[in-house]
Amino acid sequence: MIHRAGRLISVASFVVWLLLNAVALFVFGGWAACTTIACSTLLFALLLYFFRNPNRTTKVGSPRQVVAPVDGKVIVSQAVFQREYLNDSCYQISIFMSPLNVHVTRYPISGKVIYSKYHSGKYLVAWHPKSAEKNERTTVAIELRDGQQLLYKQIAGALARRIVNYAEVGDSVQVGADSGFIKFGSRLDILLPLDAEIKVRLGQEVRGGETHIAELKRKS
């Protein structure tokens, strides 16, 4: 299944693929046509692979379980001070996505969207420490029924030039549901309360909508 963020470019690429191969067949022929068809088909297949949107079954045992919003590798797991919106100390988990990972962003928890903002910026490599503050990014905060809040950032990388964010303030959202897409190599930061029980370690590979990355403490 192709993600909705990639449907237009997929259709346009298919038209280009058809025209290019028709010209190769009827104008050049022979080995030139075979080479053109093989190369263009490989590139088109890679494009479809990048925009894939596999079905995921999200299972949580409680409304305080946090799941990975994206596929990738955990590259940061530490306490930080978050200046945007939360303006408080919290725990950060950062997940790096290579161009081969699924790039769908999914809601990490159920709740209500209370903040959603786009920031223009640079395109430093996604693992750069300053990318979370300097790169193009979106920031989304979700509030649970008991008042607890968490925040996540979609961050563009050196190749990513387009962030798609569907979260709007006031939306009631479901854990594991589609919340956006980041095109071509990127990173996602999730900011949790300091007392959250972290379930992942540095270097661990996670799957969006499936891997439990944290458990929020019950608010007294």
166-213 pLDDT, tens digit each:
999 999 999 999 999 987 668 899 999 999 999 999 999 999 999 999
- Are 41 and 104 within one domain? no
- Are 32 and 81 within one domain? no
Q: How many domains does the chain have?
A: 2
- Are 42 and 76 within one domain? no
- Are 10 and 103 within one domain? no
- Are 176 and 205 within one domain? yes
- Are 32 and 80 within one domain? no
Q: Evaluate whether residue 101 is within a structural domain.
A: yes
Domain range for 17 is 4-50
Which residues are annotated as catalytic? 186
Q: Please tell me the pTM assigned to this model.
A: 0.86
- Are 80 and 38 within one domain? no
- Are 78 and 35 within one domain? no
CATH number of residue 77's parent domain: 2.70.70.10
95-124 pLDDT, tens digit each:
998 888 999 999 999 999 999 999 886 655
Please report the DSSP string for the chain in residue order.
Answer: -B-GGGHHHHHHHHHHHHHHHHHIIIII-HHHHHHHHHHHHHHHHHHHHHTB--------SSTTEEE-SSSEEEEEEEEEEE-SSS-EEEEEEEEEE-TTS--EEE-SS-EEEEEEEEE--B---TTSTTHHHHB-EEEEEEE-TTS-EEEEEEEE-SS--EEEE---TT-EE-TTSEEEEEESSEEEEEEE-TT-EE---TT-EE-TTTSEEEEPPPP-
43-92 pLDDT, tens digit each:
999 989 989 999 999 998 889 999 999 999 999 999 999 888 888 999 99
- Are 69 and 174 within one domain? yes
